[in-house]
């Protein structure tokens, strides 16, 4: 078995391996739109395990973009082997550790039912750090949005609201595990210009003229079904616990129904019991769970 750096001539082999095995790992960055945008650069270091017949038997790749560097933590796009041999994982990991300078850890989400991969990661000195859950909702009716007096929801305006979005999102997520790293206005601009952006799907909640909450809806897929994703639902701390998150959620859900989505999903941290309880009350059901394993340096 030979471990080699991904070459430009092998990119399609790598992408096909990702497509084949995305169900065994967290597929957040393995959907077709993500794979189409993959570039074989230093921001995406990738290695393959190749057998004597030239076949790809394992793959590992990290995401080392500007956001990862700022947070000093890199997320695996994929870390998977068809061969039940811990030495294959060790070989891939040894190569990826060459990139650890400037990082405090690498991390990966693994489905709760993939016990074998969890065992392999434990042998590589990874440890379970936290849990997250995918919640799914069908197209059943949404309760009405009843904002308190002096509150209003406006659509995000490109070229105007990037700093506002950053302020609300970064303040609201400052203590949320996995999302502590602040976003930059350039990242927000890029996010809103991506192919999955839904016109009118990014909204800002105001109290008088003060921005206090945000929510973003994007086009996605789940289990190969076109699905709307709700992300970045955030409120600044002093406005939390007032029922405003529920109103933002309902606004997003109604937007999804208006866009004719048959299902809507979101993810929630396991320790965020209050948020999970809210989502379940609003019609979501738990679809699957993941455990985040991390390797600290």
Tens of pLDDT, residue by residue, the chain (297 residues): 899 999 999 999 999 999 999 989 988 899 888 898 899 999 999 999 999 999 999 999 999 999 999 999 999 999 999 998 999 999 999 999 999 999 999 999 999 999 999 999 999 999 999 999 999 999 999 999 999 999 999 999 999 999 999 999 999 999 888 899 999 999 999 999 988 999 999 999 999 999 999 999 999 988 889 999 999 899 999 999 999 999 999 999 999 999 999 999 999 999 888 899 999 999 999 999 999 999 999
Instruction: Report the pLDDT value the prediction gives residue 223, as an integer from 0 to 100.
Output: 84
Kind plus residue range of the DSSP H or E element containing 81: strand 73-81
H helical segments located in the chain: 11-21, 32-36, 66-71, 86-96, 115-123, 162-172, 185-192, 244-258, 273-281
3-state secondary structure of 151: strand
> Taking the chain, what is the end-to-end CA distance rounded to the nearest angstrom?
27
Taking the mean position of all CA atoms in its chain, how far away is CA 272? 16
Report if pTM > 0.75. Answer: yes
User: Exposure pattern of 219-234 as b/e (b: 16+ CB <10 Å)?
Assistant: bbbbeeeebbbbbbbb
Give the residue ranges of DSSP H helices in 111-152. 115-123
Q: What domains sit in the chain, N to C, each tagged with a CATH number?
A: 2-125 (3.40.630.30), 136-288 (3.40.630.30)
Q: What is the β-pairing status of strands 73-81 and 105-111?
A: parallel
């Amino acid at each position: 078995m030979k471990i080699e750096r991904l070459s430009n001539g092998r990119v399609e082999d790598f992408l096909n391996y990702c497509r084949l095995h995305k169900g065994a790992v967290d597929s957040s960055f393995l959907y077709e739109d993500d794979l189409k945008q993959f570039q074989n650069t230093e921001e995406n270091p990738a290695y393959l395990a190749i057998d004597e017949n030239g076949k790809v038997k394992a793959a590992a790749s990290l995401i080392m973009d500007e956001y990862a560097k700022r947070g000093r933590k890199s997320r695996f796009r994929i870390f998977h082997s068809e061969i039940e041999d811990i030495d294959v994982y060790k070989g891939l990991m040894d190569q990826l550790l060459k990139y650890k300078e400037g990082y405090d850890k690498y991390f990966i989400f693994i489905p709760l039912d993939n016990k074998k991969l969890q065992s392999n990661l434990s042998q590589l000195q990874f440890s379970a750090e936290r849990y997250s859950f995918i919640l799914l909702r069908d197209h059943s009716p949404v309760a009405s949005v009843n904002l308190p007096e002096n509150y209003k929801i406006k659509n995000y305006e490109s070229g105007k609201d990037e700093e506002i979005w950053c302020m609300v999102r970064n303040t609201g997520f400052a203590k949320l595990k996995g999302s502590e790293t602040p976003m930059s206005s350039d990242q927000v601009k890029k996010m809103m210009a991506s192919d999955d952006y839904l016109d009118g799907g990014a909204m800002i909640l105001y109290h008088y003229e003060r921005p206090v909450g945000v929510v973003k809806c994007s086009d996605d897929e789940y289990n190969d079904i076109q699905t709307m994703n709700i992300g970045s639902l955030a409120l600044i701390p002093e406005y939390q616990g007032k029922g405003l998150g529920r109103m933002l959620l309902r606004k997003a859900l109604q937007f999804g129904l208006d866009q004719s989505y048959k299902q809507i999903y979101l993810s929630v941290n396991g320790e965020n019991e209050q948020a999970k309880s809210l989502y379940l009350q609003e019609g979501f059901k738990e679809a699957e769970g993941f455990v985040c394993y991390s390797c600290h340096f």
